[in-house]
Each structure stands twice: as structure tokens, then as C-alpha cells.
Amino acid sequence: MALKQAELDRTREYFPPAHSFLEEKTKQIIAESPVFEVMRRLPKGGVLHAHGGALGDFRWLVSDVSYRPDCYIYLGDGPAVPRGALRLAETSPGEGWRLVSEVRASAADRKAFDEGIYRSITLGEEEMQTPDIWREFTTVFQRVSGLTGNPSVRAEYWRNMLLALVDENIQYLESRSVAIELSIVQDVKTRDPDFDVKFIAAAGRAGTREQVAQALANAIDLRAKDPGRIVGFDLVQEEDRTNTNLYYIEQLLAARREAERRGVGLPFYLHSGETSWAENENLYDAILLGAARIGHGVALIKHPRLMQIVKERGIGVEVCPISNQLLGYVSDLRNHPAIHYINAGLPVVLSTDDPAIFRQSLSHDFYAAFMAWGLDLRSLKQLAMNSLIHSAMNPDEKKRALAAWDRRWATFITWLNQRLESQFPDAPQISD
């Protein structure tokens, strides 16, 4: 807490959680923080709310994948494809597409050209005045999906991504994405034997009922083949402009019945309440559908009875503070509703959502939560443990994961005491 007070004193004139994470100044002040060093070292348990297509290293996509001879960029003006979209193809995908190698060769400054590609597939200061950040966010996904979803990129992209999570002291991931080859996970386990990955199948809320029904059927098939790896289903995309949970209720209930008939079940982990509106029925229906966790839940604060039910039933709330800020729901993270959830005893899980696009990591979310929500070290410990307790792991897996996390926590506390001893010689030693 002395270290936290020193950080508050250091950032009194410019408190990072009160400013947009799109600003380079915000990221720079955090990067220089001794508290951020602690957050990097802290064993964070698992990431339960993240999208694999926006979790990896986008710098690597630029420095490696965009240099491949079959990488194309769209420079046309067609309505179906956003300008700047990237794709790997044996031949030109059509009018408006050009080889990246040719465009780069004609650029006056190749380094600046590469930086321009990176900026086009992420969000930064240049988006500060964007009138519709969600549309830009969606466009970024469209620009990069031709690379992250390509089979020839997929293995190395995921291997790099998972190793980066290990380096950040994360031991578990549940990704809203298609499952990867088990061999990639095994490769990562050579670095960290405790590391593991599971997958939550998902469909977009903008899809038709028929499309969602097909996605649900595919999820059941995958779960029947590998129930320990495919752990549930989610509906994603912006809630305010797309369909509600209720819109797909017949498809969701039919899929649940089919999954139960096949003896595999189909847990729901539903994005719900990612909105500034109180008139959002998704939270009600997520609870009525028995969702194991709620994704984001920003609007849950406006429904006290639902908060009570979430607490009573132990429904995890996947909170992604920096994502919530950048997508326009909470401008000053000191006002994020998660502080009310934590203080009221709801099971909050801290997650990171789409860090590759937001140019951040889970350590940044932990920094923001610690500094802005009145938390102490015990609170951080509980948040990390929650990510394993409320995961989709079975009881034996949770027991092993928590035991492994316990060992990491003890090592972390030893490091923290040594790290702070010289700076705060009169402070008592921290216990586990």
C-alpha cells in the first residue's frame, strides 16, 4: 500500500485510469510505474474473457506475416471489404487488392509504412475523435481476420500468443474462438507445465437464427468429440445494435436439449450488459438461461435484484475495464461499476477482451483495477483466484490449478518483499 501511495503521488497530475488508454501518454506513464512491474509479476491465474483473434501479437503479423510473398492488402473502395484489409492468397483476391511487398517497395519510408499497417489493425490516439468507436473496432477485426484466421498463420500466431501469456504469469486461458491443435498447447507446456487452454464456441449476434442454430450445432459436435476442451457457447458482438439473447431463445433452448440428449451439456457464457442502457434485457435472459458467467455486465449495476441473484448463484462476472473504457462505457475507470460488484461480494473475474487491438495486456487491467478501485493486495489475490475458481475446469483440474497458483503466489510474495525492502525499510514483511 505504501507503493500504491507513492504511485498516487507520482500520478497526481495525470492519473492514468482517469484518462483514455488510447492516449500514448497514459500507456507511457503506466509503463514507467513500479506498480506496473508488480502487476506484471503477479500470478494472475486465468484469462476467462478473451477473443483469440485479438489476443495475439499484431506486431508479429506486421513484421513477419505481412512480409510473406502471398500477403495482399486491399486499397480499393468496395463496400464489402474495408480499405487496409490484409489477406494471404496464392493469386490476387480481386480488384483493389495489391501485394503488400509491392506497395511497401514503393513507399518512401518502409518503417513508416509498417507502422501504418500496425496502426490500421489496432486502436490508438488516432481514434480519439472517432465518432463511432465500435464501428472502427469492428473494421479493425475485418482488416486482420484474413491473417489470424489463415491456416498457415494460425499455429505460429497461437504459439506466440500463448507463450506471451506465460511470460505475463498467466497459467490458463478460455478463448472465444475455434479450438487449436493440441500440439501447440503441448509446445507451450514445455515452458510452463501448468498452462492449459479451453475454448468457448461463439456466434455473432448479427447473424440470422439459422446461422446461430448452425453454430450451436457445430459447438455440440465439437463438445461431443472433446468435452474437456470445448466448454460452452457464447453470443458476441455489440449488444446495442444487434439481436438480444431472447431473439435466439428457441435456438438456445433446442441446442441445450440436444446437448443433454447427447450427454455432453452446453454451458452458456454470454456477453450481456455490455451497454450504457438500463433497458437491456440480455442480463435477465442470461440469468434465466443459467449462464455460468456473464461477459462484461457493465449495466448490471442498474439492476440490484439481478446483482443479488448473481451473488447468490455464484455467477462469475467477467470484467474487462480497459475494453469497457475504450468502447465508450466508462470514460474514467474510477467510476467503473466493478468496484460495486467487488464490494458487494459478487464473484468478479478480471479479463482483457481484445488486447492486441487495444495495445495492452492483462497487467494493464490489473494496474487500472488496483489503482482506481480502492483495492489492496488481498483484493488482487482474490481476483486472481476467482479466475480459476469460476473457470470451466472440472473440480480436479481446478484443484491442481489452484495448487500450482498457490506455489506461484508464494514465490511472488518472496520477490515482492525483497523488491520493497530497500524502498520501505520500516514496512512489515508481507505474508502469503
Contact 403, 194 (CB under 8 A): no
What's the pLDDT tens digit per position in 141-165?
A: 999 999 999 999 999 999 999 999 9
pLDDT in tens, 224-247: 999 999 999 999 999 999 999 999
CA distance 197 to 73: 32
pLDDT beyond 90 at 421: no
Please confirm, yes or no, whether 210 is among the known catalytic residues: no
pLDDT of residue 134: 95
Tens of pLDDT, residues 47-73:
999 999 999 999 999 999 999 999 999
Residue 388 falls inside a structural domain: yes
Beta bridge partners of 343: none
Would you state the pLDDT for residue 81?
94
Give the closest residue to 358 by CA, choosing from 408, 387, 324, 401.
Answer: 324
> Is 20 part of a structural domain of the chain?
yes
Q: What's the start-to-end Cα distance of the chain, in Å?
A: 15
On average, the pLDDT of the chain sits at 96
Question: Per the domain annotation, does 286 fall within a domain?
Answer: yes
pLDDT (0 to 100) of residue 425: 84
Distance CA 283, CA 189 (A): 37
CA distance 296 to 283: 10
How many domains, in total, are found in the chain?
2
Domain assignment of residue 175, yes or no: yes
Q: Over the stretch 114-137, which tens digit does the pLDDT of each residue have?
A: 999 999 999 999 999 899 999 999
Beta-bridged to residue 308, according to DSSP, are none
Amino acid letter, residue 318: E
177 in any annotated domain: yes
Strands (E), 11-138: 45-50, 71-74, 86-88, 97-99
Domain end, chosen from 70, 103, 131, is at 131
65 plus 186 within the same structural domain? no
Which tens digits make up the pLDDT trace of 395-406? 999 999 999 999
Indicate whether 72 and 21 sit together in one domain. Answer: no
Q: Reduced to 3 states, what is the DSSP secondary structure of residue 49? A: strand
Domain co-membership, 204 together with 271: yes
Q: Which of 51, 296, 303, 390 is catalytic?
A: 296
3-state secondary structure of 391: coil
Model pLDDT, residue 429 = 83
177, 51 Cβ separation under 8 angstroms: yes
Q: What is the pLDDT of residue 155?
A: 94
Band (pLDDT 50/70/90 cuts) for residue 251 is very high
Do residues 370 and 4 touch, judged by C-beta distance below 8 A? yes
Do 103 and 165 fall into the same domain? no
pLDDT value at residue 305: 97
Q: Is 296 a catalytic residue?
A: yes
Verify that 102 and 221 share a domain, yes or no: no
Helix (H/G/I), strand (E/B), else coil: 175? strand
For residues 16 and 69, membership in a common domain is answered with no
Contact 275, 240 (CB under 8 A): yes
Determine the pLDDT at residue 96.
96
43 lies in the same domain as 63:
no
The pTM assigned to this predicted structure is: 0.96
In sequence order, what are the beta bridge partners of 230? 199
Distance CA 113, CA 107 (A): 7
Same-domain pairing of 183 and 170: yes
Grid cell 478460455 in the structure block, residue: 174
Q: Are the CB atoms for 273 and 300 separated by under 8 Å? A: yes
pLDDT score for 280: 86
Residue 310 clears pLDDT 90, i.e. is over it: yes
Statement to judge: residues 42 and 112 lie in one domain: no
Shared domain check, 7 and 109: no
Which candidate, 321, 315, 345, places its Cα nearest to that of 333? 321
Q: How far apart are CA 281 and CA 246, in angstroms?
A: 8
Whether 369 has a pLDDT exceeding 90, the answer reads yes
Which residue segment(s) compose the domain that 227 sits in?
Answer: 2-57+149-412
Predicted confidence band of residue 99 (pLDDT cuts 50, 70, 90): very high
Mean pLDDT of 198-204: 98
Instruction: Give the mean pLDDT of 81-96.
Output: 96
Active-site choice (7, 239, 274, 318): 274
